[in-house]
Structure 1
Amino acid sequence: MAADRPFFSILTPTHLRPALLRRSLGSLLGQGFQDFEIIVVADAWDAASAQAAAELLRPQDRFFKRDGKPGPAASRNAALDLARGEWIVFLDDDDSFEPHHLATLHAAIQAGGSPVLFTDCAVVTEDRTQPGMPPLSRQQLAFGAQDVQQLWVKNFIPNHALAYRRSLLEGIRFDAHMASLEDWEFLVAVCERALPRYYPGGGVVMHKDYVNPGTRRGTAENSNNSLVILDFLYTYRRWPAPTPELKAQRQALLTGVGLSLPIEWF
């Protein structure tokens, strides 16, 4: 690895949420392991987000506003094209890492194994209309006992709980035309090359505001149930399951929501 190349590239799409962006970036600056760059890509312009980036980003980090249709998929792709790190980590503006996360991840990478890793995740609910966005509850999601083969059927790993060796992602990008599930479709493309390996002890935090759902992304009308089903089907057709058993599980999932299709589709 070149001396000026960071170990991690942390890729952060943002959309008009400066307070959340500040928390996300602050969680990175507080990491015990600091060999990383941050690439923030905004899909819409607001002075407060630009101010947050100006105050919190370091000389080796980057912030820019991209053109085109809003959405995190295109922003992640733009950040991927700029990333210089040996490993890629995604962190949306509404999520965060605990201070030990990157050090724990780095140790897992140094131990060797798969070019794609994942860990557990804490889900913190909050009210974003309140000063300081106080937490209302916290739940720990443990993924160590999960069968990674199930990723061919549906997703169970949050995007920021994963880390990818940069070379593994050559030619793989997020599909910005999907109404939903683009994170999972990206991960299934990765599974064609290597299945993720679990490591314990990560510090991944997912923040959710269920009190004020209008503040959350992913609630647009174009992500309704019908289009989610179509995105499942699109992913299944694009990335056929590797075993008859997984094909049957895919078929059963769609049959359960009223879409009966022959096994050959999966």
Structure 2
Amino acid sequence: MSVRVSVIVPAYNVEPYLRRAVTSALGQTEPSVEILVVDDGSTDGTLAVARSLEGPRVRVFESEGNLGPSAARNRAIEAAQGEWVAVLDADDWYAPVRLARLLAVAYEEAADLVIDDQHIVADGDDRPFTTQFETSGTPLTERQIVDPVAFVRSNRPGFGSLRYGSGKALMRRAFLDAHVLRYDERVRGVEDSVLYVRCLARGARFVVVPEAYYYRRKREGSITAGLIRMIENDVDVNALVLEEPEIQAVPELAEALRERLAEARSHLAYQRLLAAARSGAFGEAVAVAAGHPAVVPFGVRKLAHRLVGPGRLGAD
């Protein structure tokens, strides 16, 4: 039987979590699934767990050192045999029906990428306490076809947003190959979003379903930990992507990214101001505010969001 979906699992120091992730992929109601685990230079027992799971549907690869999730994913994609590629972070897991449901939508909508909502689970617990779309204050109620501008605006910093860029897409392999698209190995932390916006700039049909079939574990020490570092990365990556000719060739997308970059810089200044004020470095806080005047209206808007909620602030 041919492989319909290749599930790629980059793994780095996730010994306590990896078995559940792989087991959830093996337990899909969609039967034609293979799993490709790439150990990215782990220093714990991750590789041993991966090797214990090897079998007819699970292949394991080793990186030479810690090269990052993008490199690990790319290695898996090159080895994948499926018509579709699905991402699963090694500390997360799938609901049993996830791939079957997303595949059905992909075929119905002639989609190139499909994402769903994500249950968010605290480390050490199995019960979700919210979903990604619920945190926006304006959760989806029906399927969406997302254009490039809507995608960029969904990832706004500092306010409740749907954050499509954090979704774990089911991707049509033929589209990635036709446009020579892979994960950017210079990028860590927002590698999904970067790949998606590049796909959209090349005409990908991007579909979002309101249901949550993905379980995302929120834990300390993950790659997204450290707010200021994460926002600095966000600024750098947006500036990098904005310079690409394929992005500039879509004027509405380029303008949305310029707005996104400006807001990310304001968010970074705001967080630096707060950090300085909390540490008693008031001179530094004043210098941050003076050097980035947009930080004040950004802070006011963020406060308003907290007080009245995103549903009362229009585009927020």
Q: Tell me if TM exceeds 0.5.
A: yes
- What percent identity do the matched residue pairs reach? 23
Give distance in 2, aligned partners of 1:137 and 1:49: 25
Question: Is it true that 1:219 corresponds to 2:229 in the alignment?
Answer: no
- Is this contact kept in 2: 1:104–1:201, CA < 8 A? no
Aligned pairs (5 A) from 1:52-63: 52-63=49-60
Q: CA deviation at 1:61?
A: 1.9
Give distance in 1, aligned partners of 2:97 and 2:231: 37
Structure 1: 5+ residue stretches without partners = 127-132, 261-266
Residue among 29, 34, 51 paired with 1:32: 29
Question: Is it true that 1:151 corresponds to 2:158 in the alignment?
Answer: no
Residue among 97, 100, 103 paired with 1:103: 100
Q: Deviations over 1:16-62 (max 9, x none)?
A: 11111111112112222221100000111456323322333332321
Give distance in 2, aligned partners of 1:201 and 1:58: 31
Amino acid at match of 1:235: V
Give distance in 1, aligned partners of 2:36 and 2:94: 16
- Is this contact kept in 2: 1:45–1:65, CA < 8 A? no
**How does the TM-score come out when normalised to structure 1?**
0.80
Instruction: Give aligned pairs, total.
Output: 247
- Superposed CA RMSD in Å reads 2.8
Highest RCO, 1 vs 2 (Cα 8 Å, sep ≥ 6): 1
Query: If each structure's helix is expressed as a fraction of its own residues, which one has the higher value?
Result: 2
- Is this contact kept in 1: 2:93–2:214, CA < 8 A? yes
Once structures 1 and 2 are overlaid, which stretch shifts more, 46-55 or 61-70?
A: 46-55
Q: Which residue of 1 aligns with 2:190?
A: 181
- Is this contact kept in 1: 2:146–2:208, CA < 8 A? no
- Is this contact kept in 2: 1:100–1:202, CA < 8 A? no
- Is this contact kept in 2: 1:21–1:49, CA < 8 A? yes
Aligned pairs (5 A) from 1:1-266: 3=1, 5-46=2-43, 48-126=45-123, 133-135=124-126, 137-140=128-131, 141=133, 142-143=139-140, 144=143, 147-149=146-148, 150-153=150-153, 155=155, 156-157=163-164, 161-170=168-177, 171-191=180-200, 192-201=202-211, 203-209=213-219, 213-214=220-221, 216-219=222-225, 223-238=229-244, 239-240=246-247, 244-256=251-263, 257-258=265-266
Amino acid at match of 2:60: F
Once structures 1 and 2 are overlaid, which stretch shifts more, 7-16 or 173-182?
A: 173-182
- Is this contact kept in 1: 2:166–2:190, CA < 8 A? no
- Is this contact kept in 2: 1:38–1:57, CA < 8 A? no
Q: Deviations over 1:147-193 (max 9, x none)?
A: 54322456422555311111111111111112442221111121123
Give distance in 2, aligned partners of 1:80 and 1:159: 19
- Is this contact kept in 1: 2:21–2:91, CA < 8 A? yes
Structure 2: 5+ residue stretches without partners = 134-138, 156-162, 267-291, 294-316
Q: Which residue of 2 aligns with 1:264?
A: none
**How does the TM-score come out when normalised to structure 2?**
0.69
Q: CA deviation at 1:90?
A: 0.7
Task: Pick the structure with greater CA Rg.
Answer: 2
- Is this contact kept in 2: 1:179–1:223, CA < 8 A? no
- Is this contact kept in 1: 2:26–2:33, CA < 8 A? no
